[in-house]
Structure 1
Amino acid sequence: MFTDATFPLGPFVPYEGNPILRPKGNSWESSNLYNPAALVDGDEVVLLYRAHAEDIVSHIGLARSSDGYTFEREDAPVFSPQEDYERFGAEDPRIVLIEGVYYLTYTGWDRHSAQLCLATSTDLHTWTRHGPIFSDFDTFATVDPRGHNWSKAGVIVPVQMQGRWWMYFGEGAIYWATSDDLIHWTPGTPDTEPMYSPTPGSFDADLVEIGTSPVLSSNGLLVFLTNGATRTVHSDGRVDVDYRCGQIAIDPEDPTTVIARMQVPWLRPQTFEDRHGLVSNVTFVEGLVSFRGKWFAYYGQSDTTLAVAVHDPAQPWGAQVRAALESKETRR
């Protein structure tokens, strides 16, 4: 949690050296590398990223950077599929550090259900699995029902609110859950009653998904980066998607209600890597850190490469207009 944020947070500028991480070699990360969680560890940024070979069975790798841009990755994954519920992939990590324990939320994929799962660690290498968090919850229930447990994407708020721990989760629509111990979670509403749904006619018209863990803004609101998508279905059955990144804000005094939403995306597919890959036309954010006076938002490009966009608080919204006005005052 940070106290120097604003809503909306930004503007973010994609790094000119993107992608910052690509698939490599003939190893477990040889085909695709994307969708990272991020945290600051001392004087380094740590990424836990999703990667896989041609089998598309995802593992989670770890990389470190002293500048936020150039990363050294470990040779072996730090988290790999092990249980039946994740046998075809441990996907899309989010992470939070609370009182010396890392809480990793990720998607366990068995080619039938995409289930939100939880694991804990004190060193980012040795993990205790706690299994799927929800047993019967479909976060697409009001959008495009799956008819079975489907509960991807979850971020844990690193401080208690209203005397409980809170999680915001969901792909399709967004929901909330609470816990007394950070391990066992109870949804606050049925899957037919999301707290935030797609906005017709907008960049998130067909799907919304929680993106990053929240940060605390200067006026006390929790600010989340989110993902939204539109889908185009062609006459031959092909489906094109366009994933863009948005933001929402929540009042900690009323943590079940979204009170503000960006009307336009702060990041959208623009570059070749954003537009071409395993799933084309995707910018998908999962990691956000405040590091050395700037904000770094880490995102996947078309489920194939990994990139970063940076916000410098010294260059706020309207910086060009502000500079022009200041220049005008100086000339007087």
Structure 2
Amino acid sequence: MKNYQLRRLSDQPILQTSDVKPAIDGFEVLGAFNPAACWFDGEILLLLRVAEAPRAEKGTILVPLLEDQNGVPVLTIKRFTEPDEDYDPRVVTIDGKQYLTSLSHLRLARSQDGIHFEIDIKPFLFPARMDESYGIEDARITFLEGKYWITYTAVSEHGPAVGLAVTTDFVTVERLGIILPPPNKDVALFPEKINGTYWLMHRPMVSDIGKPSIWLAESTDGVHWGKHRFLFGGRGLTDPAFAWEGGKIGGGPEPILTDEGWLLCYHGADATHAYSLALALLDKSDPTRVLDRSKAPLLSPELSWEREGFFPNVVFSNGWVMWPDESAQAGKIWVYYGAADSGVGLAELVQA
């Protein structure tokens, strides 16, 4: 993958947490990051992950989540006494049960130049089911067969699962439910059928044996998935030169079809949880065949706003856009990336 580079188009974030107003009364926005992206009706659309939390109360841990009340999911706030010992302010364990201290949803942002965005006040997708009770995170958008297929991480007390929704106009949206059970995430559909079937990449989460890796699956209807198979994992386990992807690995946005094959953006994390971006190339007619991979990361956290934030030392992309021929930036590929879980950066994928 020596012929590709990721070049930052700005040394400042194009969106940051302070640009987003809370959707819930009494809440504050903790982060706006990790956007899905697509071209729609003459504009670039982003689906931002917006993490909100109740305004802090001294000595109290506040947990926003959906609870089942007579068969209806209702947004509630649970209150717990703050422990005396140190604890992770993002994920807390109370009486043996884990909770998130923020609730994420997906928010639309629109731009004609791809740089200056207007952010909707209301959420586009807000947690509405008990399998989304802890939030909706990190979407991907694939335009396929006249519809925009949106995959996202649906988090509940049972872990992270993969939800699917579809829209044709980004006004109305239809949830199709959970397509992969927990624990799983980082799912993106391929933008066309291959050999008559739908394909997606996903990242099962492992426990005692194995490390996170990227897998493929097939479907005849885009909803029910099977033929799961391993695609690739991090090389840092056996080669210290690849330590940058030795801790975690996962797929990014939807693959792009090029003359050489399917171009895939993915993230790797090292042992310190610093995230970088890289590329892989898959065979056109058999995406289980990996033709090439980056020998080094194309983008790593270097700027202050990529290194400092809600979750430091992260560049993470789940959205890129190839500008259409009729646009001013025809043929260019712009990569939108979350930075330190606190803002959004922009880079261009170029061939050296």
TM-score, normalised with respect to structure 2:
0.76
What residue in structure 1 maps to residue 83 of structure 2? none
Following TM superposition, by how much is the alpha carbon of 1:111 offset from its aligned partner in structure 2, in angstroms?
4.1
1:107 pairs with 2:150: no
For residues 249 and 10 of structure 1, the distance between their equivalents in structure 2, rounded to whole angstroms, comes to 11
Deviations 1:101-128 (A, max 9, x none): 2211000011441111111122223222
Is 1:205–2:246 an aligned residue pair? yes
1:124 corresponds, among 152, 157, 170, to 170
Percent identity of equivalent pairs: 29
Q: Partner of 1:163: helix, strand, or coil?
A: coil
Match of 1:27 among 7, 22, 36: 22
User: Paired residue for 1:145?
Assistant: none
What is the aligned counterpart of 2:5 among 8, 11, 15? Answer: 11
Distance 1:9 1:127, change over 3 A: farther
8 Å contact from structure 2 (residues 275, 300) kept in 1: yes
RMSD across aligned C-alpha pairs, in angstroms?
1.7
Q: 1:160 aligns with which of 181, 193, 203?
A: 193
* 2:287 is aligned with 1:227: no
3-state SS, counterpart of residue 153 of structure 1: strand
| Letter of the 1:43 counterpart | G
Q: Please state how far the C-alpha of 1:285 moved relative to its aligned partner.
A: 0.7
CA distance in 2, matches of 1:151, 1:277: 25
Matched, 1:195 2:231: yes
Contact map agreement 2:305 2:339 (CA 8 A) in 1: yes
Q: 2:203 matched to which residue of 1?
A: 170
Aligned pairs (5 A) from 1:1-332: 10-24=4-18, 27-28=22-23, 30-54=29-53, 55-135=101-181, 149-170=182-203, 172-189=212-229, 194-200=230-236, 201=240, 202=242, 203-219=244-260, 221-231=261-271, 240-291=272-323, 292-293=329-330, 294-311=332-349, 313=350, 316-317=351-352
C-alpha displacement of 1:26? 5.3
1-structure distance, mates of 2:318, 2:180: 21
Q: How far apart are the structure 1 equivalents of 2:322 and 2:285?
A: 24
Instruction: State how far apart, in whole Å, the 1-side matches of 2:276 and 2:109 are.
Output: 25
Provide the C-alpha distance between the structure 1 equivalents of 2:227 and 2:170, rounded to a whole number of angstroms.
Answer: 27
Give the secondary-structure state (helix, strand or coil) at the position aligned to 2:114.
Answer: coil
Question: Partner letter of residue 127 of structure 1?
Answer: V
* Aligned counterparts of 1:263 and 1:116: Cα–Cα separation in 2: 30
Aligned amino acid, residue 175 of structure 1: W
CA distance in 2, matches of 1:103, 1:199: 31
TM-fit CA distance, 1:17? 5.0
CA distance in 2, matches of 1:214, 1:269: 23
Whole-angstrom CA distance in 1 between matches of 2:167 and 2:14:
26
- Listed one character per residue, the Cα deviations across residues 251-284 of structure 1 (whole Å, up to 9, x for unaligned) are 0222212221101011100111111111110000
Question: For residues 70-129 of structure 1, what are the alpha-carbon distances to aligned partners after superposition, in whole Å with 9 as ceiling and x for unaligned?
Answer: 111111110000111111110000011222222110000114411111111222232222
- Is the contact between residue 315 and residue 339 of structure 2 (CA under 8 Å) also seen in structure 1? yes
Letter in 1 for 2:287: P
Distance of 1:31 and 1:303 partners within structure 2: 9
Query: How far off its partner does 1:187 sit?
Result: 4.0
In 2: Cα distance, 1:66 partner to 1:244 partner: 28
Is residue 8–residue 247 contact of structure 1 (8 Å, CA) maintained in 2?
Answer: no
User: Residue type of the partner of 1:33?
Assistant: A
- What is the CA distance between 1:8 and its match in structure 2? 5.7
Q: Distance in 2 between matches of 1:173 and 1:205?
A: 11
Q: Is the CA contact 1:93–1:105 (under 8 Å) kept in the aligned structure 2?
A: yes
- What is the CA distance between 1:309 and its match in structure 2? 0.7
**Is the CA contact 1:44–1:66 (under 8 Å) kept in the aligned structure 2?**
yes
The normalised TM-score by structure 1 is 0.81
- More strand by percentage: 2
Q: Which consecutive segments of 4 or more residues in structure 1 shift more than 2 A? A: 7-10, 15-18
